[in-house]
């Protein structure tokens, strides 16, 4: 019998709250993530927050979250909740995408 080992990666899910929809926050976040060569995605949620899944080294991630607390000019971020998760490496995004609202 062959043992199958699935490779996994740790990602961080962000839930960004405040005035973050209708102000270009998703596009801004995707652009900033691309500038920093991060992988993942961002989307609006029907509850009014912005959700992002980020794959980044911890030092880079901390600086990126600090930047997300500022956001684009028209945004006003009141809170960011984070959740670390492990996902199969095959599910990790290459590059950064904007996804539809859920």
Print burial letters for 37-60: b (CB count within 10 Å at least 16), e (below 16): ebbbbbbbeeeebbbbbbbbeeee
Please report, for the chain, the start and end positions of each structural domain, with discontinuous segments joined by +.
Answer: 10-89
Distance CA 5, CA 73 (A): 45
Residue 3 is predicted with a pLDDT of: 52
pLDDT, position 6: 66
Candidate list 13, 19, 31, 44, residue with the active-site label:
44
Phi, psi of 13 (to 5 degrees): -95, 130
Burial of 21 (0-12, 13-18, 19+ CB in 10 A): middle
pLDDT score of 57? 87
Q: Name the residue with tokens 């959700």.
A: 51
Q: Is 94 a catalytic residue?
A: no
Catalytic residue among 13, 19, 26, 43: 26
* Residue pLDDT, tens place only, 16-56: 999 999 999 999 999 999 999 999 999 999 999 999 999 99
Write out pLDDT tens, residues 68-89: 999 999 999 999 999 999 988 8
Q: Say which CATH topology domain 10-89 has.
A: Alpha-Beta Plaits (3.30.70)
Q: Give residue 5's pLDDT.
A: 58
**For residues 93 and 23, is the Cβ–Cβ distance under 8 A?**
no
How much is the pLDDT for 90?
Answer: 80
């Amino acid at each position: 019998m062959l043992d199958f080992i699935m490779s996994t990666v740790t990602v961080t899910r962000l839930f960004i709250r405040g005035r973050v929809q209708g102000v270009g926050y998703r596009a801004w976040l995707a652009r900033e993530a691309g500038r920093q060569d991060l992988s993942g995605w961002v989307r609006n949620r029907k509850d009014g927050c912005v959700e992002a899944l980020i794959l980044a080294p911890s030092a880079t991630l901390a600086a990126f979250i600090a930047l997300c607390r500022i956001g684009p000019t028209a945004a006003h971020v009141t809170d960011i909740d984070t959740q670390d998760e492990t996902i199969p490496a095959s599910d990790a995004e290459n590059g950064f995408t904007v996804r539809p609202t859920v």
